[in-house]
Amino acid sequence: ILNVEQSPQSLHVQEGDSTNFTCSFPSSNFYALHWYRWETAKSPEALFVMTLNGDEKKKGRISATLNTKEGYSYLYIKGSQPEDSATYLCALMRGDDKIIFGKGTRLHILP
Amino acid sequence: AAGVIQSPRHLIKEKRETATLKCYPIPRHDTVYWYQQGPGQDPQFLISFYEKMQSDKGSIPDRFSAQQFSDYHSELNMSSLELGDSALYFCASSLAGNYGYTFGSGTRLTVV
């Protein structure tokens, strides 16, 4: 069974602290990994598309790394702000064009 | 730039009624995906289409059906609506072989 796992499921972080969470996926038939920022009842916002083993991407205070051989990606947020509160979703795109979503990590920033 | 258009934005239906949701993908995108997000729940993949053929199926109830038309727009038909069908329904489109996909703003369905 093909599964994209995200951990932790939920995370509470003090404002100003840095944090990271994980997306794990089967490494066979890998094509790309997407990270999305998703607020409830809104459309997901694309953060990163990662394709190559060892990829590191950065957007402001948010960055991500990719290890396709061991099947994981980390998302890092530096100096968390209240507006970072959201669900962070990763999605695996396979070589056969199927897209598998993880269940997301819900991030809560505490004032 | 053109985005993914979903209509209607909001829909209120009674139990046992039928609803049709529409999704118009970004021009030249050939793949459409449908998702359901219930209140306080994770988004759930329902179904996808590539080149007017169903390409993948997720947790879509038998009461729901969908299709993609020759102009690549897609419709999600929902019959015998239940209270639990109240949710936000997103569609997304992509171009096969390309990276990433774009979500529409969603249709909020309320079943009363």
Please say if the pLDDT value at position A98 is more than 50.
yes
Residues A34, A19: Cα–Cα separation, whole Å: 19
Check residue A1 and give its pLDDT: 41
Contact B103 A44 (CB under 8 A): yes
Contact B99 A103 (CB under 8 A): no
Instruction: List b or e across B21-39, with b for residues whose CB sees 16 or more CB atoms inside 10 angstroms.
Output: bbbbbbeebbbbbbbbbee
Closest CA to A20 of A88, A76, A61: A76
CA atoms B56, B61, B67, B73: torsion sign: negative
Please say if the pLDDT value at position A95 is more than 90.
no
Among A15-29, A73-87, A88-102, which stretch is predicted with the lowest mean pLDDT? A88-102
Nearest CA in chain B to A34: B100
Q: What string of pLDDT tens digits covers the 112 residues of chain B?
A: 568 899 999 999 999 999 999 999 988 888 898 988 887 665 777 888 989 999 888 888 999 999 999 999 999 999 999 999 999 898 888 776 554 567 777 898 999 9
Residues B68, B30: Cα–Cα separation, whole Å: 9
Strand boundaries in B28-106, DSSP class E? 31-37, 44-50, 53-57, 64-68, 74-78, 87-94, 102-103
- A41 interfacial to chain B (CB closer than 8 Å): yes
CA atoms B1, A75, A12, B89: torsion sign: positive
> pLDDT-derived band of residue A80, with 50, 70 and 90 as boundaries?
very high
Residue in the block written with tokens 């990606």: A73
